[in-house]
Amino acid sequence: MRGYTWIFLLLLAFSSACRGANDARSPSGETLTIFAAASLSEAFTEIAAEFEASYPGSEVAINFAGSQQLAQQISHGATADIFASADSQQIENVIGIGRVNGGSEQPFTHNQLAVVLPGDNPGGIFEFNDLAKPGVKLILADASVPVGHYSQEMLERASTQTDFGDQFKEDVLANVVSYEENVRAVLTKVVLGEADAGIVYLSDFNGAQEEDVQMVAIPDEINITAGYYIAPLNDSHNLERGMEFLKLVLSPKGQDILTRHGFNLRGQHE
């Protein structure tokens, strides 16, 4: 009897696997897979809900992570329909391996950097210059992550300004206690009080609870404008629906959602 039970379970598993494979490739595109930068979590979750409401029966599954992690996953064969990156470099990397057609990528929003502090500000940080004070515990994203690269670029700019001095970047980096794999990990550790400050996107601060964090503005002359790019995967199983999702992101409705979550309108800084 147990032998028949085993055969039945094996056939059931095989049937389910086949059904899942057919669903993933179905022309109606019930499930759409989006790979999106971690900083887009709230905005893209809302856009996905809007999309599902417009296409009854469709489902949007979103993989949020650091853009470099997503590009690596795609390079190793991960299945996706749309890739939304916090910089152009990771899109170019995916173009380089042939998963995205060059010229299909489009800029869709902008972001800027901000310094976030725990709500009780244990490090006594009141202005940007305070990041260089000895003893400050700072968390950054790794330089392989777009926000980490932007943070390094911003500190380099600061070191060319007389207001900060040529040792500013070196002094700030001496205070780094950890480098994280995505921007949300930076924000989370700051909220938990594991550091005195972290450098994240302005949209991350806007999405946090007010009692959890404070913000110190980065001077405009040294801040970085981060350009976000989106593109369809050329081997997408749901290309038609994927393009509809991309159109929604670029539409006034999608742009309004992004703006409400702390992002800038396309082209605002171009």
Set out the domains of the chain in order of their start, with CATH numbers: 2-110+227-260 (3.40.190.10), 111-225 (3.40.190.10)
User: 211: pLDDT confidence band, cut at 50, 70 and 90?
Assistant: confident
DSSP string for 183-228: HHHHHHHHHTTSSSEEEEEHHHHHHS-TTTEEEEPPPTTT--EEEE
**Tens of pLDDT, residues 106-143:** 999 999 999 999 999 999 999 999 999 999 999 999 99
Torsion angle defined by CA atoms of residues 77, 83, 84 and 89, in that order, rounded to the nearest 10 degrees:
60
| Per-residue pLDDT, 264 | 81
User: 208: pLDDT confidence band, cut at 50, 70 and 90?
Assistant: confident
Question: What is the C-alpha separation between 67 and 4, in angstroms, rounded?
Answer: 48
| Per-residue pLDDT, 9 | 34
Q: Which residues contact 124 (CB under 8 A, 6 or more apart)?
A: 130
Question: What is the C-alpha separation between 104 and 121, in angstroms, rounded?
Answer: 44
Residue written as token pair 């001077």:
219
pTM value is 0.82
User: Do 43 and 15 form a contact (C-beta atoms < 8 A)?
Assistant: no
Question: What is the C-alpha separation between 86 and 31, in angstroms, rounded?
Answer: 24
